[in-house]
Amino acid sequence: VEANINFTTNKARIVWDNEKLKLSEIILKIRSIGYNAYAYDSSIADLQASKAKRDYSIRMMVAVIASMNIMMLSVAKYTGFFTGISAEVKHMIHIGEFLLSTPVLFYSGWIFYKGAYYGLKNRMLNMDFLVSFGATLTYIYSLFILFGAKGESYFDSVAMIITFVLVGKYLEVIGKKSAVDTLDKIKSSLPLEAVVITKEGKKTLALNSISLGDIVEIKAGEKVPVDGKILIGEGSFDESTLTGESIPVYKKRDDLVYSGTINMDSLIQFEVTKSFKNSTFSSIVALLEDSLNSKPKIQTKAAQISKGFSITILSLSLLTFLVWYFMGIDLGFDYAGTNHFEKSFIVAISVIVIACPCALALATPMASLIGISELAKRGLLFKEAKFIETLAVANTVVFDKTGTLTKGELNVVKANILDDNIHKINLLYSLLDDSTHPVSISIKKYLVSKYDLESKNLLSVKNIEAKGMSAIYENFEGKSFELLGGNIELLKQNDINYAFDSNKTVYLFAINKKVIASFELEDEIKDNAKELISFLQNKNIDIIMLTGDNEQVASRIAKQLNISKYFSTQTPVSKAEYIKQVKKENKSVVMVGDGVNDSVALGNADVAVAMGNSAGVSLAVSDIVLLNSTLSSLQEAFVISSKTYKFIKQNLGLSIIYNAVTIPLAMAGYVIPLVAALSMSLSSLMVVLNSLRIKMK
């Protein structure tokens, strides 16, 4: 159904129909094209990585030691070139170079032959082919010289080509691993098993074996393995692994605890509410892995550029040989003592060796990987790597108000109870009890603090989008009462004329079209909201605020935050329609909401950012998740995304400039194969090292 391969992390994410295809068939297919595929297991992956690193180290040491000895022999050969050397001595030097370069080419260089073979098998000319092809041609030519043909042998160049590229690849692997380690560290922070309380006593079970409803026990200092609800005990929990906030959160009976957090105080027993696979921590890890597997748009463009790279280089190499051989062009570089064929051949080999498709191929994934890792460290989860690019180039940010720019913790600042009949107050309380809206929760909290209330059974309870609620109550005599609770628009819609003017959030309650009570509520602006708006405005990004609140509330918040463009009394549908309209103006839109009631609007934006705590955040509707809900972390997301995108463009620029400069120089005869191999390796390392700068503050 879907296959996504990340060559930087050596992982493939595959979705398949198990009724049509088995995993064993997929693995066999992958192995048939040269890759040792197996179902991912972090412990096996670590063993494989250690084995590969050890293999690289041995091959590299053989290449380095042999190359150093070849260079000692080459000193004698090149000194003799100027001072005089007998044919017998020169032949012995050639034999020594042959003996030393052969294991370098066929043992240390086996990695390149293997890569080239599978590339050709699948009709691809890759970097391994260029390296092995160039080194092999040079080796064969040098064999002709060894067995009597006139000219100079280039066994030293063969060894150096393999050695330089191998060392470069080894350093590249280390650079990649340091970036991938972030994910490994996050995953390894969970315990492998947990203590479960059963009828027979306590049992230690693997996390995958824990079921919903099981009772899990954790001691002070231990990590919560799966999500659950506290049954026995209370204490503080360190949730910094999820939210980035260092201040512990106090939890008591019936409070939820989340996987990956640390119990700091005392023994706790909790009931499992989510399986290990669906727990908060596992969802975060899965999201992070998916983002590492995805590709930004700019990477697709780079892949298109590099697609025909190797064929182009081979064509240029052949053209270079033909021009030098048949036209005798000499642009100033002199291979002293060489014949005409030899000169043409060595120049053509230099063109093959100096070209570096790997720098172009590494440019985007390397920077993306490090950027995603840095964002994850700060509690910023990007669903796909492409959103780094989208966020970096965005020119419009649309904010929901409640719970996004404001704390969403409304407080009743003024209450006007027009009829304090306790039965009517009970009906208001019952209507509020059927709602999870922040306004309802705040008023209910206020009423509980003032009255001794009881809940009534209501009929036909309806949620009226962006306006409020309605219900029917029947008393013991069978008499019906129509209940309405919500904003002024709800009352107007039901032909209730009630004059009320306020720049705060207003809630009105009516029974049988008579207003019984009115409430004014106020919401505080979130910390760092002003700083974020100012930061975005300085980047010339358009700021728009959409809210379901009335004009007075919207204007007050907009004025405080210096937002000139805002729209009040918006429904979820009208928010989505507005975003569609903005996108038609060729604008890249980021929508920031609470991830649940703004799901329609979020789904229509180019990038959907979900605000909300780590428990309630909706991963389904968001592209970027801010685990700690702070607006300062959203600012960090913009900063790191812009920085990463800048380095991606730098890497692409560096690799294109490198190839554009060095290939013509090699074609002109100014670069020998040995220098070509060194510069090719350095170009890849240059891209890796430049990407690692993203980590620097």
Tell me the C-alpha distance between 655 and 648, whole Å: 11
Cα separations in angstroms, 226 against 37, 205, 259, 267, 618: 30, 12, 4, 16, 18
Query: What tokens does 122 get?
Result: 């699948």
Tell me the C-alpha distance between 623 and 108, whole Å: 44
Closest C-alpha among 316, 331, 516, 525 to residue 425 = 516
Strands (E), 150-277: 193-198, 201-206, 215-218, 228-232, 235-238, 249-251, 256-257, 262-263, 268-272
Residue with tokens 């050397």: 85
400 is catalytic: yes
Helix (H, G, I), strand (E, B) or coil at 375: helix
Cα separations in angstroms, 462 against 60, 442, 490: 72, 20, 12
The answer to whether 666 touches 351, Cβ cutoff 8 Å, is: yes
Tell me the C-alpha distance between 182 and 372, whole Å: 10
Candidates 400, 549, 598, 606; catalytic one? 400
Closest C-alpha among 653, 682, 9, 646 to residue 371 = 646
Helix (H, G, I), strand (E, B) or coil at 366: helix
- CA torsion angle 422 425 427 428 (round to 10): 180
Handedness of CA 38, 42, 47, 51 (dihedral sign): positive
If you write DSSP's letter for every residue of 606-671 in order, what string do you get?
SEEEE-S-TTT--TTT-SEEETT--HHHHHHHHHHHHHHHHHHHHHHHHHHHHHHHHHHHHHTT--
Tell me the C-alpha distance between 290 and 4, whole Å: 9
Within 10 Å of residue 41's Cβ, how many Cβ atoms?
10
Cα separations in angstroms, 309 against 125, 130, 388, 464, 548: 8, 10, 27, 60, 54
E strand or H helix that includes residue 90: helix 87-103
Query: What tokens does 166 get?
Result: 């191998």
Closest C-alpha among 408, 391, 394, 389 to residue 598 = 408
Query: What tokens does 528 get?
Result: 């760092």
Handedness of CA 336, 342, 344, 345 (dihedral sign): negative
The answer to whether 290 touches 387, Cβ cutoff 8 Å, is: no
C-alpha 426, offset from chain centre: 50
Walk across the sheet containing 249-251 and list its strands: 249-251, 235-238, 262-263
Amino acid at 279: S
E strand or H helix that includes residue 353: helix 340-354
| Pairing label, strands 607-610, 589-593 | parallel
Helix (H, G, I), strand (E, B) or coil at 471: strand
Residues belonging to the active site: 400
